[in-house]
Amino acid sequence: MTTVAELEQDPHAFLARIRPVGWSEALGGWVVCGRELAMQVMRDPETFTVDDPRFSTAQVVGPSMLSLDGGTHAEHRAPFEQPFSLAQTRARFTDFVAEETDRLVSAIESLGSADLRRTVAGPLSVAVVAYSLGLTRTDAATVLDWYQDISSSVSGVAAGHPVTAEGAAAFAELHQHVAGSIDQADSLIAEAAHAGLGTDEVVANAAVLMFGGIETTEAMITNCLWHLLTNPSELALVLADHSLIPNAIEESLRLEPAAAVVDRYATRDVTLAGASISRGDFVTVSLAGANRDPAVFTDPDLYDVRRANARRHLAFASGPHICLGMHLARLEAVSAITALLTRLPDLRLDATSPPPYGLVFRKPSAVDVSWVA
Say which CATH architecture domain 71-261+299-370 belongs to.
Orthogonal Bundle (1.10)
pLDDT in the model for residue 87: 95
Could you tell me if 273 and 50 are in contact, meaning their C-beta atoms sit under 8 angstroms apart? no
Torsion of CA 354, 121, 145, 257, to 10 degrees: -60
| Tens-binned pLDDT, residue by residue, of the chain (373 aa) | 899 999 999 999 999 999 999 999 999 999 999 999 999 999 999 999 999 998 877 888 889 999 999 999 999 999 888 889 999 999 999 999 999 999 999 999 999 999 999 999 999 999 998 888 877 767 777 888 888 888 788 778 877 888 889 988 988 888 888 777 776 656 777 777 777 788 888 888 888 888 788 988 999 999 999 999 999 999 999 999 999 999 999 999 999 999 999 999 999 999 999 999 999 999 999 999 999 999 999 999 999 999 999 999 999 999 999 999 999 999 999 999 999 999 999 999 998 889 999 998 899 999 999 999 8
Q: Which residues pair with 284 in a beta bridge?
A: 31, 263
pLDDT in the model for residue 186: 63
Domain segments of the chain: what residues? 71-261+299-370
Exposed, middle or buried: residue 16 (CB in 10 Å: 0-12, 13-18, 19+)? middle
Cβ partners under 8 Å of residue 212, min gap 6:
66, 259, 323, 324, 325
**Of 233, 230, 272, 283, residue with least CA distance to 255:** 230
pLDDT in the model for residue 184: 63
Write down the pTM of the prediction. Answer: 0.93
DSSP line for 142-175: HHHHHHHHHHHHHHHHHTTPPPPHHHHHHHHHHH
